Amino acid sequence: MKRLAVLGSTGSIGVNTLDIAGRFENEFKVVALSAGTNIQLLREQIERFEPKAVSVLNEALANALKRKISPKKIEVLFGVEGLIQITTLPEIDLVVSALVGAAGLIPTISAIKAKKSVALANKESLVMAGKIIVEEARKNGVAILPVDSEHSAIFQTLAGRSKGEIKRIILTASGGPFLNLPYEKMKEVTAKEALHHPTWDMGRKVSIDSASLMNKGLEVIEARWLFGVSTEQIDVQIHPQSVVHSMVEYIDGSIIAQMGITDMRIPISYALSYPKRLRLDLPSLDLFHMDGLTFLPPDMERFPCLRLAYRSMEVGETMPAVLNAANEVAVNSFLEETIKFTDIPAIVETVMEDHQIKPLTTLDDALRVDQWAREKTKKLIEERR
């Protein structure tokens, strides 16, 4: 029986995590949940799973929630402090870190320091502070289990192999809704069009990142830290059918690939139940009724976000945190329709160029740079209006 804390329980990954926990009640006990503002869904989850503690975005929401539930049976916390408290509860074995964006960093680190294994869906924490997280995990002897479908694919295909046998990791990308759109037309795409992902159903920020390929860029950085390979060993291939979720090529030329239907419950359940697999009773991947599987090199000209992500890794230290923060702010502005889709990489690049690289040794280094890049990006966007 694994005892879980689920951070971001009302988001897409959180809901799917609880679906798995609910199907396998002999395997998992949900001890703590955290949500942002979706109190209604959180309340339903509390009724269903009866956690010991929950945390919400702020005090007002915590009070609103307390009025709706029986607060004697459950501790209602809020804010970053609330997240830290629930990740460090002594009875928790595994923390599912599924917050979106930079907000995931502090609770992820606090879970690791409390010697909890982490099922990590929050790629931003590895992008911002991968070196620190990996080092803390090593020091505390805990596992970081990938939840992203691509990284889960790699994790599954790496099973038991030594790092020296890896020739390269091949991250696949659907290419998003604008795969074949000329650059000129990209300038005019709307948030609604960008949110329409062809093969996966995801949250809003991730969907925009998928459309710009920044998501794949962040995944390259994430893979570098999760699997301890160099950035040069990580390739991206566009695979519009999203059937092969990623691959590893070994030194003997053998490629091991993981495939499946586009259902996040497969990678989530693998992270939750690792090292064993659970019987999910999902429909089998139907290879007979689909287009031929194709693979293409990514177009770094039309999708500069991917190029910027590789460049940030080559520079290293605080640069990926700058990329990540500038992107997060720019994506929000695009969703609010204050900037164009093609402005996202232009703004991120400007902020990166303006950044004085610093050594990344403490969490504060990452957080300070994150703060700087956000303010810088907001200012840039203000100036453009």
Write out the residues near its own copies by the rule CB under 8 A.
156-157, 159-162, 165, 167, 237, 244, 247, 249-261, 263, 266, 269-270, 276-280, 282-285, 287-288, 291-297
Closest to its own copies by CB, 285 or 363? 285
DSSP state of 288: T
C-beta of 337: minimal distance to its own copies in Å? 37
C-beta of 145: minimal distance to its own copies in Å? 14
C-beta of 154: minimal distance to its own copies in Å? 12
Q: CA 148, CA 156: separation in Å to the nearest integer? A: 12
Residue 158, token pair as written in the block: 């790496």
Q: CA 224, CA 73: separation in Å to the nearest integer? A: 43
- On whether the CB atoms of residues 145 and 123 are closer than 8 A, the answer is no
Determine the residue type at 113.
K
C-beta of 290: minimal distance to its own copies in Å? 8
Cis peptide before 198 (omega within 30 of 0): no
Instruction: From 3, 4, 18, select the one nearest 265 (Cα to Cα).
Output: 18
Buried b (16+ CB within 10 A) or exposed e, 172-208: bbbbbbbbebeeeebeebebeebbebbbbebeebbbb
Closest to its own copies by CB, 69 or 259? 259
Longest distance between any two alpha carbons in the chain, whole Å: 62
Closest to its own copies by CB, 263 or 349? 263
Token pair 């989850």 in the structure block, residue? 45
C-beta of 250: minimal distance to its own copies in Å? 5
Closest to its own copies by CB, 183 or 295? 295
Token pair 């069009």 in the structure block, residue? 193
Closest to its own copies by CB, 274 or 341? 274
C-beta of 275: minimal distance to its own copies in Å? 8
Closest to its own copies by CB, 84 or 166? 166
